[in-house]
Each structure stands twice: as C-alpha cells, then as structure tokens.
Structure 1
Amino acid sequence: MLLKNVIIRKFLSFSVGSWVSLLIAIVTTPIITRILTPEDYGIYSLFLVSTNLFLLLALLGTDQMYFRFYPELKRDNHELLRKVIVINIISFIAITILLLVFREQLSELLFGVRINNLIILLILYIAGRLVIRICLSILRMEEEGVKYSFIQAAIKLFDLIIIILLIFIISSDSYTFYIPVLSLVISNFIVVFISIYYTLKTWKMVLFDRNTKIFISYKELIKYGFPFSLTLLITWLFQYTDRLLLKEMNGMEDVGIYSAAFKIVSILLILHTSFNSYWIPLSYKKFEEKNNDTINFFVQSFNIVSLITFSLGIILILCKSLLKILLGQSFYDSINIFPILVIIPVMLILSEVTMVGINFYKKSYLHIYISITITLINVVGSYLLIQWIGIMGAAISTSLSYLIYFFLRTWAGNYFYKIKINYLSFTSNLLLFILLALLNSFFDPLNHIILIINSILVGTFLVINISRFYEIFSKLRGGIK
C-alpha cells in the first residue's frame, strides 16, 4: 500500500511535540544564557553530554532490539519488552555502582569540578530518562503520536516552569549551573508519571501476564542490540569530541559559547528527532511489505526530505542576525559559529533515509566501522583546527566529519538496499548549502556584498528546485502516488 495522507498525518502527530518543545526552548534559552556565565553554561552542557553517555550504556541498544523484533512478534510484544527492561535494570545498577564508587574522580573528569551532588543528580536523571525512553518506545511502535508528542512537550514545559521558580529560590551567584540541572531532574520525574500513565496497559501486561513465551533469547537480543550500543557509544564520542577537546584545550568558557551555538542549531536537530521517531518504525514496516512500490517509496522520501531540510537550513542561516536576541550578551560569539553547525542536522536527517539497507539486512556491525572512522577523523581534525582557529575550528571539523558520515552511511546502505538518488541534483544543492553556511559564518550577512552573494546562492537554489517544489507540494496535497 502506497504512502497516503494518513502517513503524513501520523508523522505530524509524532513531530508536533518536537516543535512545541522548540517553541518552549526559544523562551528557555534567553533565560538560561542571561542567568548563567559561559563557564557555568559549559558545566550544564557537559552534564547533558554525560547523561547521553550513561543513558546509552544503560540502554545497551535495547530500544533498537524492540523496534526490530516488534513487527515479528505481534501480540507477544510485552514479553519482548519484559526482556528489554530486565537488561536495562541490570545495566543501570552497574552504572550506578560505578558512578557512586568513583564519584569524586568522575565529577572532576566530566565537569571540571569536584561536586559529588552532580553525580547524584546525574544518577537520578538517568533513571528517569530510562523509564521515559521505554515509554516513548512503546508509544512509537503503537503509533500513538499525540501521546508521544505530549510527553516530549511536557518535559520542556515543566523544565521552563521549574527554572523560573528556581531562579527565585537559588539566589547565590556561584554555582548557578544548579538551576538548569535541578530543573532537568525534577521535570524529568514529573514526566515519568505521565509516561507510565499513558502506557499503563502495556506495563500491566509486562508485570502480570506470564502466559506468553517468545523464542528470542536474551543472547539473541544482545547479539543484535550490542553493535548498535557500541556504535552509539562511538557516535557519542564523535558527536562530543569537539566539546571535550574544547574543555581540555581552551577551557569551560569556550565550551559554554560553543554549546550555546548548538542551542540555535537545535531548531533543526529537533526536526531530526521528530523525523527519526516516526521514520524508523515506518521504514521497517515498508520493507516488510516487500512489494514493487517499496523502493519507490524510499526514493520519494529522500527527495522530499532532502529538499525540506536544505530549505529549512538555508532559512535558519539567513536568520543569523535575528537569532542574536535568543542569547545573553556573554554568548554573542556563538552567532558566528552556528551557520557551519547547521550542516550537522541536515546530514544526519538525510543519512537516516539512505542507510536503511544496513538495518534491513541486520548488518549493524557496519555502523561500528563507520562510527570509528568518523570519530578518528573528527578527533584529529578538531585537535588540529582548535589549535589553529579555536572554536571555529571545532565547528568546521565536526561539520566536515558529518558530511563524510553521510556519504559513508549512504554507500553502505545502498550496497544492500539500492535507493536511486539523483546525485547531480543532490550535489548541486549540497554545494550551494555549504557555500552559504561558510559565507555567513565568516562574514557579516548584513554587509552589502554578502547580501548580494546570499541572494545569488538562494536564487540559484530556487531555480534548480522549482519543479521539485511544485511536484512535492502536489504530492503532499494528494498523497504520494
């Protein structure tokens, strides 16, 4: 069955939470960057970086196990989920012991300060995120887009409310990073109860229904999920090499300024999150149909996604001067960095479409090889360029690494499952996009000459894609045929 309007509506139901979260973040970011110094913002951002690391270790790729085997097990999915949760509990206990035993050393290593309370807050935050992640996985596979979106939005909404309250409670000018960190932990636990309520039926079956058995062992689950986990850990290093090296080479202030630039880029990173939320289960379902229209579905999906992401990236870059109002005065240097960083979410989103063959044919080990390659490139590139041009060097190295990441994932995915991409059209759009990003990072977009060049680049992009815009809008109105 071809993709119809109902698919588009379902995608929108999954993405609306991300966009509401974005609107809330637009309010939250100016508040945080005005109450925190760049140094404290750097500690706060490294708290989030550390959370991502330990959450990946706690998950051990179990969400990917759940997504992969869910369509095969049909009514026995709660038994699969039970095994997933057991793996999560064991790994979380091991991580908690590790963090508590080496709390002082890890606090110094991760945050640059010896504050044991940060480790306790980290453990609490990971616990809450783990439960929410399980609940979101359930809602994704059950295609409960509205509930999924509500949970996403609720996290950001409660975070904003609690930040405002804590500003009045925590009056000290020192350790102001506690304000956003405490807010994260408290809002997280509020949303845990909402998430469990929305998935209560499934949780009851997991806890009390023992009548079904599945023939997938823990060994098979871990065998499938572990390469994803290892890949994600390497990808974590790849994603955060820039910030970790900035911390060691330039100090916490540069980490804060660089992280604030990523806050602006989160406008498109949220699009990646919302797209991925629906794309992963949808792509598996389309592959399982195995009909003549399946490959055409992926080709058309890439055409639509590439044009939309390039267009949004260009719009974001052209709004460089306006976006300054989102940041406190101490963070104004972030504005010059973000245009280059916009390349990152665009390449991420596009690679999710082109690499599906790796997952369809269970070649998850290829993710490891790709991630190791890109991590090494980014480590070397960031180390050399940070010494040369500081923060901008980190941005250039990371963005270049994501370009290579896209092409490697595309090559590997197409080796197993060919998606016929119009590379001439795609390459033209990509080059125009990169030129625009570089130009607006190094020069003032309000300069008359830069305005003219920007106009030429954008005009060329529109001329090249005018027929595709019309075609895509027609399909979105009537469904893809």
Structure 2
Amino acid sequence: MKKNVKDIMTYFIGSLFPMFIGFLSSPIFTRYFTPDEYGILGLINITYSYINVFFISWISSCLWRYYNKFKNKNELSKLLNIIISIFFINCFILIISGFLITYLIPSLNEYMILLLLKNIALLTGGFVGYYLIILRLEGKAFKYVFFSSSVAYINFVIMLLLTFKFSWRIEAFYFSQILSNFPFFLTFLLYIGKNTTEIKPFKILLNEKKILKEMFLFGIASGLTIITQYLLSSGDRYILKIFRDLSELGIYDRVYNISNRSVFLLIGVFFNTFNPFIYDKLENDIKNIDKHYENLIPKYILFIFPIVLFVSLYSKEVAFILLGEKFRIGYTIIPFVVFGTFFMGINTFFEVKLKFTNIKYVLRGYIFATIINIILNFIFIPKFGYYAAAFTTTLSNFILLFYLAYKSRIFKLKYILINKINYTIPLIFLGISTVSFFIVRLFFNPNLLFSIIEGCFYFFMYIFITIKLNKKLLK
C-alpha cells in the first residue's frame, strides 16, 4: 500500500475522534451556555484571531515555508533556536499587553480573568501547534493523530468537569485549553532539546540577521494575508454586533463554527496527507507543480464535495442533532458556510503556490475579497442579519478562488473533471441524489430517522461508485 493511502486513512480515522468530540460537545454546551455567552466568546475568539497573527501564526507560516530548506542544509537546530527565541519574546509582550489593555480600558475589567486565560491558552496552543506542523511536514501521521486526538479528549473531559462539577461559565473554555495543551507544550520543549545541538535563544537572533530578515519579511506578508483571511471569514461578527443584538451574533457564531468544522476537519485530513508532498515539490521541483496539482485537485473535489453537498441538503437535521433548541433557527445558513469552506480549501492550492512564486498576488486577492465582503455586509446585514453575513462571505470566497486560480496560471484544471469519466460519473450520481432528495420532499415531510437512513444510503453509494471507478485514486 502506498504511503499516501496509509497516511490519508490514518488522518481520516484519527480525525473521527476529534470530530466526534466536537460534535458531541456542541449539543451539550449549547444547552448549558446562553446565546449571549456564546456572543461574548465569539467576539473574544475573533479578536484574538487577529492578535494571534502577530504573535503565533506568522511563525507557523515560516515553519511551513522554511522547514525543508533548513532540513536540506542540516540546519534544523538553527531554525528551532530561532523559533523558540521569537516565541518567548512574544510571550512576554502578549502577557504585558493583556494587563495594559484592561488598565487602559476600564470597561474590560469585568473580563480581565477571561482575557488573561485566553492569552495563556493562545500561547500554549500556538506552541503545541508548531510541534504539530513539524510532525505533518515529517509525514509522521500516527504521532500527529495521537497528539491532536489526545488534546481534544483531555480538553473535553476537563470542560465537562469545570462546567457540570464546578459550575464554571465560559471561562471554562480557555482554562480547559490551557490544561489540555500543557503536557504537549512540555513534549515540544523536550523535542527541541533533543534536536538542537546547542540551545542558545536570543543570541542566535543577533548572529543570523540575514535569514531573520528573510523570514520576517515573509512573515509580514503571510501575516497580512492571514489578517485578511480572518477579516474575510469573521469580520462580519463585528458588523453583526453593530447592527444586531448579541444573541443573534451568538447563534450565528455557533452555527458557523459547527458548519465550518463539519467540512474543515476533512479538508485538514486531505492537506495533512498531501502537504508534505506539496511543500517538498514547491521547494525542490516547482516547475512541475502544476502537473501535480492537476492530479491533486480532482482528488480534493471527489473527497470533500460530497460532504459539502450532503451537509447542505440535510442542514435542518444537522442543526437538530448538533445544536441546542435556541440555536437551531440558524440552520438555513449551513449550506452557505460549508460551500464557503469548500472554496477556501481549493484556494489553499493556489495560495501555497503563489507564496513560493509571487506572494503579493495572495495578499492582493485577499484584500480585494475582504473589501467586497465588508461593503456587502454593511449594506445587507442591517436588513437581513446573519443570513446576509453567511451569503456574502461565501460569495467573496468564490470570487477569491477565481482570482487566485487565474494568477496561478493553471489553465488545464477546468478540463480535468469533464474529460475523465471516472471523475464525472460520481459527480453525476451526486446530481441524481440531489434531485431525488427534492422529489421525495415534494410528496411528504420525512422524519429524522428517514433522513438519516436516506443520507447514509446516498453517501455510501457515492463511496462505492467512486472507489470502484478510481481504484488508483490515492496512489
């Protein structure tokens, strides 16, 4: 069996547990916490997403970009020293900033503990995230799955104890993250000690100014791109807060996260498997990357699109199972969210290539899409609320997809799916399934059990047809 087949099965099976935990926690905690509390939680999480860019995410981008370069030169020790030096400087700045913000803005004093816990959770989670990136780049699928699944399990158990045993409120979200990340925070420190010939944090920052400058410039460009990504996907929360109430924001944020997670975890499985291959080719064989993309993108579509389609068709049932009663009203936005996430996954192919060739196009594309999204949100959210927010975000991601694909100069992709019958037949079956779905509902209103059986039948038939026609799909 080919390595990528083993890896994709490992990542898929491994993702089922965190996915199950995530879906199990939603109906539990949406019955315990109020929409207003989820509104506060959503605003804090989104705000810290932007803070995360300056302190955590740009380092992650540099790891993805430069790991193979340092490894090929047998200089991983140098890279690890740089990473740990910058990280601990950022720790100091972020914690001090947290106290200063609450001092300068007295209205935030009531959230001081919550913000402090979020600071620590952000730092520990970011540090563990660096280790997970290295495991993915090294192709260590089982180890990655073990660590990520363990974090999810420990976090869930601690969250249950804090809420139902000790009656904590939303601060339990962040404290459970800190405790679940801490063992793996120590594990990464041990990894650094083992793989670093000499640990000399801060000193290396003075001795490696050239590579630091290169990494910093790349990090700035990546950071600006990430900020625009966040604005594109979550900037609508601030506009909702301006024009609508906190409860509506809480409903939108919870439904959006559940919908996004249902697809994004599988997208993660795909890219966890193929990212080591993609980054290796971009570093060492970039002239042939288009040929590899022409093989990978159809696989992505065949693997991810059926999930997107069936989650969209059965959005009402998904909301009934995964959300508390007060949140289920938002089920109508689920199709927009999952399709937007699907487009974001395709964008990743073109974005990664452009980061190695001409990163300015990535930044321009995201800025353009974000401006469109913000303008449309200000126009339509006051009247249509979170329905407009979900639709405009999906539309903006679709526009971004065409821009990045055009700038990537990959033209043959549009012919791949229609020229190969082993790709078109599974997609035709999805079309037939969709038509059947609506015909059934013209004559009667099926109950939850019927919908589950019907959806499973369509899904497993698709799997059977796809595998039958594409026995070498993952080779």
- Tell whether the 8 Å contact from 1:131 to 1:192 is kept in structure 2 after alignment: yes
State, as a whole percentage, how many aligned pairs show the same letter.
21
Contact 2:193 2:199 in 1 (8 A): no
Could you tell me which amino acid in structure 1 is paired with residue 178 of structure 2? Answer: V
1:97 matched residue in structure 2: 96
CA contact (8 A) 1:132 1:195 kept: yes
Aligned ranges for residues 151-170 of structure 1 at < 5 Å?
Answer: 151-170=147-166
Tell me, yes or no, if structure 1 residue 37 matches structure 2 residue 28.
Answer: no
Aligned residue in 2 for 1:374:
369
* CA 380–425 in structure 1, closer or farther in 2 if over 3 Å, else same: farther
Tell me, yes or no, if the aligned pair for 2:282 and 2:353 is still in contact at 8 Å: no
Q: Which one-letter code corresponds to 2:310 in the other structure?
A: I
Q: Which residue of 2 is the match for residue 126 of structure 1?
A: 122
CA distance in 1, matches of 2:190, 2:14: 18
Aligned runs of 1:71-470 on 2, under 5 Å? 71-74=68-71, 75-103=74-102, 114-171=110-167, 176-196=169-189, 201-202=194-195, 204-205=196-197, 207=199, 217-265=211-259, 266-290=261-285, 294-323=289-318, 324-361=320-357, 363-414=358-409, 420-422=413-415, 425=418, 446=441, 448=443, 469=466
- Residues 351, 362 of structure 2: 8 Å contact kept: no
- Quick check: 115-124 or 163-172, which moved more? 163-172
Looking at structure 1, the residues matched to 371 and 412 of structure 2 have their Cα atoms a distance apart, in angstroms, of: 28
Structure 1 residues 356 and 192: alpha-carbon distance in aligned structure 2, compared to 1, 3 A threshold = closer
Counterpart-to-counterpart distance in 2, 1:338 and 1:18:
21
Q: What secondary structure is seen at the aligned counterpart in 2 of 1:474?
A: coil
How far is 1:247 from its partner? 1.8
Q: Is the 8 A contact 2:270 2:300 kept in 1?
A: no
1:63-74 mapped onto 2 (5 Å cutoff): 63-74=60-71
Letter in 1 for 2:136: R
Deviation string, structure 1 residues 360-394 (Cα, Å, up to 9, x no partner): 32x22222111111111111111222112111111
Query: Residue 177 of structure 1: CA displacement?
Result: 1.7
- Give the one of 19, 22, 26 matched to 1:25: 22
How far residue 341 of structure 1 moved from its aligned partner, in angstroms, is 0.9
Q: Which amino acid aligns with 1:255?
A: L
Greater mean alpha carbon deviation, residues 319-328 or residues 24-33: 319-328
Q: Indicate if the aligned counterparts of 1:104 and 1:116 stay in contact, CA closer than 8 A.
A: no
* TM-score, reference length from structure 1: 0.82
Partner AA of 1:144 in structure 2: K
- C-alpha deviation, 1:328, in angstroms: 1.0
Structure-1 separation of matches of 2:414 and 2:464: 17
Tell me which stretches of 4 or more aligned residues in structure 1 moved more than 6 Å: 208-211, 428-434, 465-468
1:199 to 1:86, Cα distance in 2 relative to 1, 3 A: closer
Please report the RMSD computed on the Cα atoms of aligned residues, expressed in angstroms: 3.7
Cα distance in 1 for residues equivalent to 2:192 and 2:440: 48
1:10 counterpart = 2:7: yes
Query: CA 1:151 to 1:199, structure 2 compared with 1: closer, same or farther past 3 Å?
Result: farther
- Relative to structure 1, is the Cα distance of residues 248 and 31 closer, same or farther in structure 2, using a 3 angstrom cutoff? same
SS where residue 167 of structure 2 aligns? coil
Distance 1:51 1:444 in 2: 45
Contact 1:99–1:106, Cα closer than 8 Å, also in 2:
no
Q: TM-score, normalised by structure 2?
A: 0.83
Distance, in Å, in 2 between the alignment partners of 1:298 and 1:37 is 45
SS in 2 for 1:475: coil
Q: For residue 16 of structure 1, report the CA deviation from its aligned partner.
A: 4.1
Mapped contact 1:24–1:157 kept (Cα < 8 A):
yes
* 2:294 and 2:416 in contact (8 A); partners too: no
Alpha-carbon distance in structure 2 between the residues aligned to 1:396 and 1:430? 24
